[in-house]
């Protein structure tokens, strides 16, 4: 992470960006793993959108994937409808009562 993420900002009430939006080594590892998946033709399904953009940047930097192909894959993933989630146990229980 660059030094600018740790500098305080007036518009953030004198807090650093890293204080507002936490970012860990595990997050960086997930981004790097996501970049490898993108290069191999996949899309990391559990990677948050804010990290997917960084993963795409890393994937593009490898030179192993055409920019248009990568951007289409990422945009299609980010704009695809979210599948409905499975009902919770409480929702199932309430439906039976």
pTM more than 0.85: no
Task: Read off the pLDDT band of 88 (50, 70, 90).
Answer: confident
Using CA atoms, how far apart are residues 40 and 50, in angstroms rounded to an integer?
20
**How confident is the model over 62-83, as pLDDT tens digits?**
999 999 999 999 999 999 887 6
Scan for tokens 């499975």, then name that residue: 86
**How confident is the model over 25-72, as pLDDT tens digits?**
999 999 999 999 999 999 998 899 989 999 999 999 999 999 999 999
Mutual orientation of helices 25-39 and 49-61 as an angle, nearest 10°?
60
Q: Report the candidate in 65, 21, 22, 27 with the shortest Cα–Cα distance to residue 43.
A: 65
Tell me the two tokens of residue 91. 């929702």
């Amino acid at each position: 992470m660059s030094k600018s993420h740790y500098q305080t900002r007036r518009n953030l009430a004198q807090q650093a960006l890293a204080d507002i939006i936490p970012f860990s080594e595990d997050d960086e590892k997930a981004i790097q793993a996501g970049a490898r998946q993108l290069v191999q033709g996949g899309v990391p399904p559990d990677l948050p959108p804010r990290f997917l953009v960084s993963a795409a940047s890393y994937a593009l930097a490898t030179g192993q994937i055409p920019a248009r192909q990568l951007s289409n894959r990422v945009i299609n993933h980010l704009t695809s409808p979210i599948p409905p989630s499975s009902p919770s146990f409480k929702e199932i229980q309430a439906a039976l009562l």
